[in-house]
Amino acid sequence: GAVVSQHPSRVICKSGTSVKIECRSLDFQATTMFWYRQFPKQSLMLMATSNEGSKATYEQGVEKDKFLINHASLTLSTLTVTSAHPEDSSFYICSAYKTGLSYGYTFGSGTRLTVV
């Protein structure tokens, strides 16, 4: 199998605070993980590619100082939304790529972030 666990599923935070979201591959090692953001009634937009042991690669327009990504082990990547603002409220989803699987990508269950 290829299971990705994402926590928390929901979080509400105050404006100006930071929130950390965890993404774990449970039964495989993931050298690469991906972080997506989805606003209501819109599609998933790739924010960044998380590479184990090296810096993340951010998509154009994504602030790397605001969305901190750490991929310190082969099974864990974290996304920290720093100094959160209401416009950061969104559905954040991680994905991991397992080599050998014909379809490759498996998704976490997502985190609903609400900044008040």
Partner 1 sequence: QKEVEQNSGPLSVPEGAIASLNCTYSDRGSQSFFWYRQYSGKSPELIMFIYSNGDKEDGRFTAQLNKASQYVSLLIRDSQPSDSATYLCAVITYKLSFGAGTTVTVRA
What does the DSSP 8-state code read for residue 32?
A: E
In the complex, the smallest distance separating the C-beta of residue 104 from partner 1, rounded to whole angstroms, is 8
Applying CB under 8 A, which of residues 43, 54, 61, 116 lies at the interface with partner 1? 43
Binding to partner 1 by residue 11, rule CB under 8 A? Answer: no
What Rg value do the Cα atoms of the chain yield, rounded?
Answer: 13
For 15, 61, 100, 102, 114, the CA distances from 6, given in Å and listed in that order, are 23, 24, 22, 23, 16
Beta partners for residue 51, in sequence order: 32
Binding to partner 1 by residue 110, rule CB under 8 A? Answer: yes
Applying CB under 8 A, which of residues 95, 98, 113, 115 lies at the interface with partner 1? 95
- The answer to whether 42 and 59 have CB atoms below 8 angstroms apart is no
77 alpha carbon, distance to own chain's centre: 7
Binding to partner 1 by residue 49, rule CB under 8 A? Answer: yes
Binding to partner 1 by residue 67, rule CB under 8 A? Answer: no
Applying CB under 8 A, which of residues 23, 93, 113, 115 lies at the interface with partner 1? 93
Residue position matching structure tokens 């991906």? 34
Between residues 18 and 109, which has the closer beta carbon with respect to partner 1? 109
| Binding stretches for partner 1 (CB under 8 A) | 6, 34, 42-46, 49, 91, 93, 95, 102-105, 107-110, 112
